[in-house]
Chains A and B, each alone.
Chain A
Amino acid sequence: MNARLTPWLFLMPAIAIYGIFGAYPIFQTFAISLTDQVGVAEPGKFIGLQNYVTLIQDDYFLNALKHTGIWVIAFLIVPNSLAITIALLVKQTFWGASLIKTVFFLPLALSFAIVGVVWGWIYEPDVGLLDQLLIGLGLESLIVEWLGPDAATYSVIAAAAWRQTAFATVVFLAGLSSIPTELIEAAKVDGGTRRQIFFRITLPLLKPASTIAVSSALIHALLATEIVLTMTEGGPFGSSEVVGYRMYMETFWNYKFGYGAAIGVIVTLMTAILVVPYVRRMAKAQERDWS
């Protein structure tokens, strides 16, 4: 075997499969987004950036974009702060650690389809789990139409946040576990109070974990297609639309492939901007490993 060629022979299957079915389509999506293609039957004609121009005047799209913004903000805050609280509590109390962890990690095993179905039942008016729970607790006054026009986006976010919290808890617990106990002990011997130790040692050392949790939250918030599709299909009246779902709808319901591709491109660009710092960090770490 030629030594120069060998690495590429090992990489070949991965490159071939990804190249044909993954990379080539990425370029095609860019190309299609410059056409007015409708359906798959025949290619559309080149219309330049017309789709993008239409997009920024498209109320449906702008509405979806606004909701995606809400998703991003909510997803940055809610699952991550919940997860760090849970991780710290689990770590500090050791109370029933393995069973408790299982409870918090469980949603990770569930598909968005199932999360959507389950939370659909939770939000069901009157008989659903949430309304029944509030009634049981004497909190009827809090009940709203969870999947109605006013609350739908937030309700769907809550369902997805349930799953995202599970992921972030895994990440933060791993981060906490990677802090050597000697470090904390050394700080105690040095006379640090619990508060000082937390803010001056624990928190800074959680930075890598935070980067991971944050980038994951960003990506899931930006895409958020499957859960919206399962729970509300963007409704009622577009009140829970997000850009990822919009792309799916324009393409596979309205058959506006060119237009859908343009939304796909925008989603991809938004993701790219957000993950660049993360990719940089990975690359640097790897280069250090290999040199």
Chain B
Amino acid sequence: MTDMTTQISAAPQDIINRGTLRERLEEPFMRGGQIGLLLLLALVFFLPVLGTLLTAVRTIPDITQNGAWALPASYEWGNLGRAFVEMLPYLKASVIITLPSVAGTLLVSMMAGYALSRMRFQGRIWMFLVIVSLSFVPIHTQLIPVFRLMSDLGLHDTFAAQIIVHIMRQIPFAVLIMTNFFNTVPGELREAGRIDGASEWTIFRRIYVPVARPALSALIVLEFTWIWNDLLWGLVLTQGAGKKPVTVGILSFEGEYEIAWNMVASGAVVAAIPTLAVFLAFQKHFIRGMTMGSVKG
């Protein structure tokens, strides 16, 4: 009697937790195989990074004699130092370009996103559609006239030109993200603000902007990475070395050192550090931003 009852009550449990008999037998093999495959993929995926790091801290003779994958005969940290010193002007330019661009993008897109999400007005859906579509406009349709316009305005080879263009390019995506975020904030907050006597600007500034903090951090991390990593505008809108961002810098650096692979790798590491650091520190925000907007990559 007791046997039977335990059996009966155990049976459904069994099905839920462990699947059919065949699946149960396959399980350990499948799991082992899956982990193995995952590790292998991760390793392959990581090899470019690993190889570059290795190369960066070695000497050329060490590389040519012992092969690219050998452990360094001696760790040449000085390579990175030298690369850093040479890249410094480019890094500085990138900072000067990126920070105001990010700030400008945020301000402009938060305002627009707030209006689109929280206000009812004629042409709202239409505006939204235009913005979604604009986020797909390839840089190629804007390069030539922007280049011409900046020359006409006397802004060629200035930071200002690059900052303006970055803000312009990021507006559609950032507005989209902010609109979608503000859509998730209850509209009652705005009405409570109105009843408390706040103007539209005060509601935006003192209620919606602070509430948007989580979305903002995600957007900041993404925009920082994208703007920092731009190459084409940096090439097209600059002339002298002083105004070129680090993405352009790494190419000149590569040209300069040709087959001094350890230096080229060091240059790449130095140039990658800012965005890598931001990414590693704020990975969660980064990923959340991507999945919130999910248009670019």
- Touch between A and B in complex, CB under 8 Å? yes
List the interface of chain A (C-beta within 8 A of B). Answer: 1, 4, 6-8, 10-11, 13-15, 17-18, 21-26, 28-29, 32, 40, 82, 85-86, 89-90, 92-93, 95, 100, 102-114, 117-122, 124, 127-129, 132-133, 135-136, 162-165, 167-168, 170-171, 174, 185, 188-189, 191, 193-194, 212, 215-216, 219-220, 222-223, 225-226, 229-230, 244, 247-248, 251-252, 257, 260-261, 263-265, 267-268, 271-272, 275, 279, 282-283, 286-287, 289-290
For B164, list chain A residues within 8 Å (CB): 17, 21
From B38, B279, B295, A95 is in contact (CB under 8 Å) with B38
- Bound-state CA distance A100–B41 (Å) is 10
- Bound-state CA distance A161–B274 (Å) is 23
From A25, A113, A118, A132, B146 is in contact (CB under 8 Å) with A25
Residue of B146, B172, B183, B286 with most chain A CB atoms under a 10 A cut-off: B146
- Bound-state CA distance A103–B267 (Å) is 21
User: Which A-B residue pairs are the 10 nearest by beta carbons?
Assistant: A111-B229, A167-B297, A25-B145, A109-B279, A10-B115, A28-B145, A14-B112, A264-B140, A113-B247, A132-B68
Once the chains bind, are A17 and B136 in contact (CB under 8 Å)? no
- Bound-state CA distance A24–B142 (Å) is 9
For A275, list chain B residues within 8 Å (CB): 133, 136
What mask results when residues 172 to 183 of chain B are scored 1 for a CB within 8 Å of chain A, else 0? 100100000001
Once the chains bind, are A21 and B146 in contact (CB under 8 Å)? yes
Once the chains bind, are B272 and A264 in contact (CB under 8 Å)? no
Once the chains bind, are A119 and B279 in contact (CB under 8 Å)? no
Once the chains bind, are A265 and B112 in contact (CB under 8 Å)? no
Once the chains bind, are A117 and B125 in contact (CB under 8 Å)? no
| B95 at the A interface (CB under 8 A) | no
Once the chains bind, are A121 and B148 in contact (CB under 8 Å)? no
Once the chains bind, are B297 and A261 in contact (CB under 8 Å)? no
**13 chain-A/chain-B pairs, Cβ below 8 angstroms:** A14-B108, A14-B112, A21-B142, A89-B34, A109-B225, A111-B228, A111-B271, A113-B231, A114-B271, A127-B67, A127-B261, A129-B47, A290-B125
Given contacts A25-B142, A117-B254, A263-B140, contact A11 B51 (CB under 8 A): no
Once the chains bind, are B264 and A117 in contact (CB under 8 Å)? yes
From A189, A229, A268, B140 is in contact (CB under 8 Å) with A268
Once the chains bind, are A18 and B134 in contact (CB under 8 Å)? yes
Q: State how many angstroms separate the Cβ of B222 from the closest Cβ of chain A.
A: 10
Once the chains bind, are B45 and A114 in contact (CB under 8 Å)? no
- Bound-state CA distance A8–B297 (Å) is 30
- Which chain B residues (243-270) contact chain A, with CB distance < 8 Å? 247-248, 250-251, 254, 261, 264-265, 267-268
Once the chains bind, are B147 and A114 in contact (CB under 8 Å)? no
Query: For this complex, into which size category does the number of interface residues on chain B fall?
Result: 35 or more
Once the chains bind, are B137 and A22 in contact (CB under 8 Å)? yes
For B239, list chain A residues within 8 Å (CB): none
| B189 at the A interface (CB under 8 A) | no
- Bound-state CA distance A26–B142 (Å) is 6
- Bound-state CA distance A1–B271 (Å) is 48
- Bound-state CA distance A287–B132 (Å) is 13
Once the chains bind, are A117 and B268 in contact (CB under 8 Å)? yes
- Bound-state CA distance A68–B144 (Å) is 21
- Bound-state CA distance A124–B147 (Å) is 35
- Bound-state CA distance A261–B140 (Å) is 8
From B69, B265, B291, A170 is in contact (CB under 8 Å) with B291
